[in-house]
Structure 1
């Protein structure tokens, strides 16, 4: 027999209302109380009754996570965290990719709200989702025009921190890889701003021709860009890549060019994908708290579903530079 709210409350030694507040991620709950209730939920394998809520409210109990580009560095981790956070509130999640017509247009997937993974999302994709009339929360991109709730990432600051890390490691000819040929994506633009700001603060100028544009943020794009850079007589001694997949490709290019990472060229990315933790050398990166992104995004879309006219909110997720073997200091 499935566990109920009463079963969870009894095991945790709290009221049913407290369990409901935790499940619905309401604020003003102490961390200790949340851990206590979460432990009881896990032990009993409690799942909210989505179907009962659908009958009661007329809602589907389904959220959509739209990933506009498979190359979003932390896409897999974000999807896992979103599914987990949504389940705690009684929602299921469908995942769509590159859904410029709202959720596939003719398929008309019935959902209560949309979480749009925004780092590389063009403006028209955002506009299409808003025009569909569903509650929308942008996850992980730069701040937009204030029409949607957003859990932002300070990409400019993340890029500045990554470049500053290379500077502290003794690197001075720092190239950048990952600017888009057009101005269609906010995050690459912001990364360029942060990269250039860090160099200016150090009294340095960007390597000529930088940041180097790539059409996508795939490993192959990083490989091609780095091969071209490293073939120059004035090759850089460090490469800041706008995503971890680009950085993985860049490290392979260095290896194929007979160079050592980090002795000859240091490499850092953004995203903290699992591959970078097991590459050789391990990849230095800027890690964004995907758990925070997911929890806040689900909480915001749930609140927006309940209160469609509430004021738009914007929350910035924390990030951390994770130094690994690919940027070890000289000497």
Structure 2
């Protein structure tokens, strides 16, 4: 049901509600994968059991985090992450539906993939701009060690960061994120529509089912994440600059002065594979979260239609 033509009975408020609920449900179930991804992304040492790396595989990382920090560590930063997901989901799906409604007056079906890409890109950038401070706070809370905590919670981290580093810190890494989210969100929506159409043809149905939405969302998430992953890693490295004191137990410090410097130093110190640290848990997370994000959005929209 993603796309204006299938939502003629729904209002803009319905789109926002469905997007927010899909973000909330998805984040609740997938937060541990996000914690694993961020821990791998912020590790400077090679991801190998032959080096002195703290984390070198998904299973090993799970065991280390569990034994050192407890089960709650897998939901570290969950509150700002929920604010991030709900805000992002609300704005993203609402923007996409509004934009696709406007666009349907100017394009034919042969141009649909391009239009879906453009509408998805703009929707993703808009949602990122609105929700970005929650992403920075979430990253800081996930990155800190339980043995050396600087922040007690969301509000304390917000106050401390703004007081010590200034308000712009809440948007540190925004440009690289916009550069990443634009194509990522565009590819997501474009691929989702393509795979959803394929699934419907395979099962011989004109409507999107929960299972077809899961499959289409999962494949769309894999395609989108693989394309933009190096920029996602660079964003996380930029967000923890000035935060070294809370990461003394995680290995080497990584210092950079901007996106270009960040990418150059990653290549010089960690090689090409350094750009893909954490890719495995990230792809698992991307396939699950995108599948859940789209399928729950579809089901909530269907439920709202049934109430009309």
Q: TM-score, normalised by structure 1?
A: 0.30
Structure with higher RCO (Cα < 8 A, 6+ apart): 2
* Structure possessing the higher radius of gyration over alpha carbons: 1
Q: Which has the higher strand share?
A: 1
